[in-house]
Amino acid sequence: MIEWSEQHKQIRAMVRRFIETEIVPKREALEFGDTPPYDVLRKMLATFGIGEMNKAMFLKALEKEKRGEGTASLESSGKGGPAAADARAMQMIPIIELCRHSPGMVTALGVSIGLTAGAIMKRGTTAQKERWVPPLLTLEKVGAWAITEPGSGSDAFGSMKSTARRDGDGYVLNGSKTFITNGPYADTIVFICKLDEGNPEHERKILSFVLDKGMPGLVQSPPLRKMGLHASPTGELFLEDVRVGKDRLLGETEDQPARSSAKETFTAERTGVAAMALGIVERCLELSVDYAKNRVQFGRPIGEFQLIQLKLAKMEIARMNLQNLVFRQIELAGAGRELSLAEASAGKLYAAQAAMEVALEAVQLFGGNGYMAEYQVEQLCRDAKVLQIYGGTDEIQVSQIARSLLA
């Protein structure tokens, strides 16, 4: 059986204290003032030694890679064991804690480290890893992973218009991307596009390039206004004849298994949503229980009314289920296994819907207060919605699950 260990609880207490001291008082600025989240995230990584620890681990693995012993990544060896389970738990605790107050922070951090550094670690050459990964791990540099386009969302590869054309030793890149997390501030961008050899679009190879901020022809838009997740800046990228050398082509080969690589990325992205949803649901439940005990109507606390009790009970059920999903991931890491794409999709679908339902019910339970920005459930409710959209919409998760059932 898995339970949070004494050590896990200690980490949780420390991270919670940091968030309550450093992030909660800045809520106004982060939520309504366009303040980017990176300074406070950097401080968090530095305070707990997370960035430096990851960087040291990565550099050690990179030295090994140079000697021809394995490939450098931050992923567990795949052998499992208690240390791997512990490492996974320690990865999830800060996600849960951050999501209690600011799911946007997790998105900004996850995209920079998990997706951007993750993609370079997975597919890059040794030289590319050495060049781009270490500063991403400490958030000294901010990363973005650019796949979505105005005309390509769920059908990411099929409708993709961005192109790379061969040009001498290098390539010329064109296209526009949208809904790119960290896009407005990113220093390092993984840009996914199709190799245009004059062949039909559906036959084109998928390539990824690593771009730096300020390259001629690359424009990063200011943050887009959006419904929620305000702590995570989202923007557009425009590329017009951006010239790059082969050293920026991820893996330095045109024969990348890019589609399967993106799928691995989707699995990782979806896996993280259970922990995010747990944070949102935990907080909504905590606030709701408190409110139900203290809000008096018709001469008694509203928690004494059965309709309110039903809401609280359903929230608790969601919390238990989500915690079990998180524990399942810890257990799998201990066994040296990962979720399959279909399992990750099922978990993500449930987690996103549970978070949305709970947050909406929390707003309802708070009544007029719930609709006011002053009460935090209003923000969590707006933030939760994105979980049903990004990392694959609910509808895409359904088709992924069905495809694996009917295969």
Partner 1 sequence: MKILVPIKRVADPDNANKVKISGDGTEVTSEGLEWKMNPFDEWSLEAALRLTEDGKTKSRVGEVVVVSIGPKDAVATIRQGLAMGAERGILVEGEDKKLDALVVAKILQKIVEKENPDLVVLGKQTVDGDSNLVGTYLAEFLGWPVANYATSIRTSDDGKTLTIVRELDTGAATLEVKGPAVITTSDRILHPHAVKNGVTPDDFAYPESEGGRYASLKGIMAAKKKPVEETSAAALGVDAAPQVSYVSFKLPPARSGSTTFVESAAELVQKLRNEAKVL
The residues that touch partner 1, with contacts defined as CB under 8 A, are: 6-7, 9-11, 13-14, 17-18, 21, 47-50, 53, 90
Q: Can you say whether residue 88 is alpha, beta or left, with left for phi > 0 and alpha for psi between -120 and 50 degrees?
A: alpha
Provide, rounded to whole angstroms, the least separation between the CB of residue 227 and partner 1: 31
Closer to partner 1 by CB, 59 or 360: give it. Answer: 59
CA angle (243, 247, 248) in 5-degree steps: 55
Provide, rounded to whole angstroms, the least separation between the CB of residue 152 and partner 1: 39
Is residue 61 within 8 A of residue 147, CB to CB? The reply is: no
Is residue 146 within 8 A of residue 235, CB to CB? The reply is: no
Among 86, 57, 74, 110, smallest CA distance to 333 is for 86
Beta-bridged to residue 188, according to DSSP, are 143, 212
Q: Verify whether residue 269 is a known catalytic residue.
A: yes
Closer to partner 1 by CB, 5 or 253: give it. Answer: 5
Ordered alpha helix ranges (H), 4-81: 6-18, 27-32, 38-47, 50-66
Closer to partner 1 by CB, 43 or 131: give it. Answer: 43
Closer to partner 1 by CB, 90 or 262: give it. Answer: 90
**Token reading at 346:** 């099922």
Provide, rounded to whole angstroms, the least separation between the CB of residue 285 and partner 1: 15
Provide, rounded to whole angstroms, the least separation between the CB of residue 19 and partner 1: 11
Closer to partner 1 by CB, 296 or 402: give it. Answer: 296
Residue 350 and residue 357: Cα distance in Å, rounded? Answer: 10
Provide, rounded to whole angstroms, the least separation between the CB of residue 127 and partner 1: 29
Please identify which of the residues 65, 97, 149, 269 carries the catalytic annotation: 269
What is the chain's alpha carbon radius of gyration, rounded to the nearest angstrom?
A: 22
Q: Which residues, in sequence order, are CB contacts of 44 under 8 Å at separation 6+?
A: 15, 18, 22, 50, 94
Active site residue ranges: 269
